[in-house]
Amino acid sequence: MLDAIEPIITEFLEAMDDLRDNYQFKTDQNLRATMEEMEASINELMAAITGRFENFERGTKHMWDEISAERFHKVEQLISSYHTTIGGVLCSLSVKMEAWARLFPTPSSGGPGKRAEFIMSEMKQGMENIQEIEDSAPMLSGLS
């Protein structure tokens, strides 16, 4: 799922760059602040998910070398929470990005006004909830 939404996220971030450069929105501080927050959130979420995959791979590489019932139970709980976290974040981002891609399938679709309106009305809503899902997951250090 991560591979599927990355191109759409890239297109979305590029569209926000275009809006920042658009003369019509140069002085719209509310839109500019929203786009800045969204870009930071999306980049943080994608980095966190990628980091979770990498940390999990590193942290479990030698898991079977000295496995105990307690350690196995910790790994099982961690996998379950990672699954919930990663699934929740990717599902939420996918819904938002697919809505964007449906409405604006090409860089010229919809025009800057419609894009800005959609960002403020639809894309902005719930971004903090997606970040909360990510923040709620335990760290891999819980295995130690």
Note whether 133 and 43 are within 8 A (CB).
no
Residue range 64-81: average pLDDT?
Answer: 80
Q: Is the separation of the CB atoms in 63 and 75 below 8 Å?
A: yes
And the tokens for 25?
A: 């929105």
Number of structural domains found in the chain: 1
Domain, as residue range, for 30: 2-60+67-143
Please compute the mean of the pLDDT values over residues 35-64 and round it to a whole number: 86
**Considering the entire predicted model, what is its pTM?**
0.83
Secondary structure (3-state) at 106: coil
Q: List the structure tokens of 111.
A: 């025009």
**Three-state SS sequence of 80-108:** HHHHHHHHHHHHHHHHHHHHHHHHCCCCC
Q: Please give the residue that has the higher pLDDT: either 64 or 32.
A: 32
Among 33-42, 112-121, 126-135, whose mean pLDDT is lowest?
126-135
Q: How confident is the model at residue 16 (pLDDT cuts 50, 70, 90)?
A: very high
